[in-house]
């Protein structure tokens, strides 16, 4: 891995960036950074109960992978609107001794019976998102337990059953509903007339739970105990698998067609990380069916000719350039990305240096482009562009251990409360709505159309960054649907170009696009720049562009952690 990184950096030909200078400076640790040395490690997640679960495992001598899997299980209990064992995820792991990367693809798959016309009406027109989201037909085969089993075989130090302890305790003894969960319940529960089991699970004394209430989930505790005792196969071939299939196929709305065979045949996949240089660093992430690494690396690569460090974070032109690079990269994302087992994806062409130089030349530093079209990366086959949907029922968490191993994972059930159904106490996903609903456009097949056994396109972007000597300096990721890519990219730019400590880089204003406008986060310095940004020629809308980023960073004092100040996330370091 070190040779690979040094080889990439030889091609970069750039000087050391402000991130290294910031790390060398003293007295810059911010509130959620923790000086080393650490006896056990760091846990960072979007919920303090999950963070505590990870730290419990680290204190017991567990590995970073063990801690991350305990956090995934705990989040099933306390953050049911966002992720859990009823969904899937992507894990990127880095070995503390060698720096070597391994990624595990635990993305959900479509049932074998799924066909490209799954989400179109009798006239061949795509159905509405809210029409197809609830019920059985939007659910993919969950991948997180198979991912967990693979991670445990590779890097686990504690017994399998030990990883379930914190989550089982939370489910049995109950947990306090926080403001985020309460807000999601209030928002989504009006649609639960057809899902009384879900409403009952999140009710206390017959009324929908509110902030401060305690929820217990004995069914989930029983499910977790069973998986802990019998292993992952019980989820995919035993009693739990039967509960999942029965729940989906007997749904009152949009009954599904998932079978026991679909669950039994599911496999998590180990695949290569995708890496490319940026300034004096190498940024690595998940390859397809994640669009995270390709799009993050495209945005960064397109920005390389511009001196963002000199411009600085308080210059509207910096954000104009970021906005232009963002929209160019997303145009390629919509046209070329999908599951490489089913469609040709020009993965390396999308991040090839000469191609990104061509794309960069499309950016006018003083004027916004009128439109953004996909390019023609090396190796690309003729393709039709189409817009895919993706909502923000997602979470991210990261752990390091005393040996320097890093486990960095993004996990999801897609929409808030997934497909709105529960089986065995856990919420089931609606990941199939991440496919493009229209199977064809302009007479050509769409890369991300529905097909049996296929994994839908995702924006999840777990990312690890190496310095010029091949040392890991950052690991991070975010929730946020298709905005995940930008939340991660902005944080990377903040650290690498603007020289900010990771917590401050995460706290930088968020930026996205939509409705032919640039969207900037309200109540931020960027919102105050909206009028100046609009002078580049594209309307700017100040709105809620929240994020949920978690990460770790190497400093001269050792590893420190970071959690998004917009979330209820926390960091523990011991």
Token pair of 98, please?
């060698």
Q: Using CA atoms, how far apart are residues 288 and 210, in angstroms rounded to an integer?
A: 39
CA distances (Å), 307 to each of 277, 406, 469, in order?
16, 31, 23
| Number of C-beta neighbours around residue 1 at 10 A | 18
Q: Find residue 511's DSSP bridge partners.
A: 520
Residue among 38, 37, 9, 33 nearest 23 (CA): 33
- How would you classify residue 231: left for phi > 0, otherwise alpha for psi between -120 and 50, otherwise beta? left
Residues 417 and 391 sit within 8 Å (Cβ to Cβ): no
Residues with catalytic annotation?
A: 391
Strand partners, 471: none
Question: CA 548: distance to chain centroid?
Answer: 10
Q: How far is CA 539 from CA 329, 522, 531, in A?
A: 19, 15, 9
For 400, the token pair is: 């390091």
Q: How far apart are CA 425 and CA 21, in angstroms?
A: 49
Distances (CA, A) of 81 to 235, 337, 430: 21, 27, 12
Q: Terminus-to-terminus CA distance in the chain, angstroms?
A: 29
Angle at the Cα of 165 from the Cα atoms of 163 and 171, rounded to 5 degrees:
125
Q: Which of 110, 111, 108 is closest to 144 using CA atoms?
A: 108
Token duo for residue 113: 């019976």
How far is Cα 424 from Cα 413, in angstroms, rounded to an integer?
A: 15
3-state percent breakdown (helix, strand, coil) of the chain, nearest 5: 35, 20, 40
Entry field: residues in the chain: 574
| Nearest CA among 456, 520, 457, 473 for reference residue 326 | 520
Are 304 and 278 contacting, i.e. CB atoms less than 8 angstroms apart? Answer: yes
Contacts of 447 (CB under 8 A, 6+ apart): 335, 336, 337, 338, 343, 345, 383, 386, 436, 457
């Amino acid at each position: 891995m070190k040779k690979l990184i040094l080889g990439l950096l030889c091609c970069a030909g750039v000087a050391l960036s402000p991130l290294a200078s910031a790390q060398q400076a003293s007295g810059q640790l911010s509130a959620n950074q923790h000086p080393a040395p650490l006896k056990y490690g760091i846990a960072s997640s979007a919920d303090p109960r999950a963070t505590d679960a990870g730290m419990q495992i680290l204190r017991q001598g567990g590995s970073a992978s063990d801690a991350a899997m305990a956090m995934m299980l705990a989040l099933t209990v306390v953050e049911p609107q966002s992720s859990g064992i009823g969904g899937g995820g992507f894990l990127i792991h880095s070995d503390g001794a060698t720096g070597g990367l391994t990624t595990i693809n635990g993305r959900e798959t479509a049932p074998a019976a799924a066909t490209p016309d799954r989400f179109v009406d009798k006239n061949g027109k795509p159905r509405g998102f809210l029409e197809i989201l609830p019920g059985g037909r939007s659910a993919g085969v969950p991948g997180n337990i198979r991912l967990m089993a693979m991670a445990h075989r590779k890097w686990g130090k504690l017994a399998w059953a030990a990883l379930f302890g914190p989550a089982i305790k939370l489910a049995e003894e109950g947990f306090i509903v926080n403001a985020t969960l309460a807000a999601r319940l209030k928002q989504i529960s009006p649609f639960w007339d057809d899902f009384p089991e879900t409403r009952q699970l999140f009710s206390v004394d017959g009324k929908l739970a509110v902030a401060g209430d305690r929820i217990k989930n004995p069914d989930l505790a029983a499910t977790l105990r069973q998986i802990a005792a019998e292993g992952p196969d019980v989820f995919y071939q035993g009693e739990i698998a039967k509960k999942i299939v029965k729940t989906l196929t007997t749904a009152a709305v949009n009954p599904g067609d998932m079978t026991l065979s679909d669950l039994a045949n599911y496999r998590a996949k180990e695949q290569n990380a995708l890496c490319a240089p940026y300034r004096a660093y190498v940024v690595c992430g998940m390859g397809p069916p994640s669009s995270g690494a390709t799009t993050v690396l495209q945005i960064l690569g397109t920005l390389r000719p511009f001196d963002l460090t000199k411009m600085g974070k308080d210059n509207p032109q910096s954000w104009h350039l970021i906005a232009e690079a963002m929209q160019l990269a997303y145009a390629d994302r919509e046209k070329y990305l999908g599951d490489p087992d089913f469609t040709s994806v020009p993965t390396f062409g999308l991040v090839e240096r000469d191609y990104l130089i061509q794309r960069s030349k499309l950016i006018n530093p003083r004027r916004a482009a009128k439109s953004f079209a996909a390019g023609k990366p090396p190796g690309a086959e003729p393709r039709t562009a189409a817009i895919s949907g993706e909502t923000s029922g997602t979470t991210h968490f990261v752990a390091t251990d005393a040996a320097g191993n890093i486990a960095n994972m993004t996990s999801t059930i897609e929409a808030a409360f997934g497909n709105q159904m529960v089986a065995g106490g856990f919420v089931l996903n609606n990941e199939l709505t991440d496919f493009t609903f229209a199977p064809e456009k302009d007479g050509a097949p769409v890369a991300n159309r529905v097909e049996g056994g296929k994994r839908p396109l995702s924006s999840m972007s777990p990312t690890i960054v190496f310095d010029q000597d091949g040392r890991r300096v950052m690991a991070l990721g975010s929730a946020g649907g298709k905005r995940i890519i930008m939340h991660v990219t902005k944080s990377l730019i903040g650290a690498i170009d603007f020289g900010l400590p990771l917590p401050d880089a995460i706290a930088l204003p968020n930026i996205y696009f939509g409705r032919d406008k640039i969207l900037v986060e309200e109540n931020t310095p960027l919102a105050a720049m909206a009028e100046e940004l609009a002078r580049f020629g594209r309307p700017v809308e100040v709105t809620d562009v929240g994020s949920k980023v978690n990460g770790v960073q190497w400093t001269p004092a050792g590893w420190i952690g970071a959690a998004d100040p917009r979330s209820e996330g926390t960091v523990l370091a011991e």
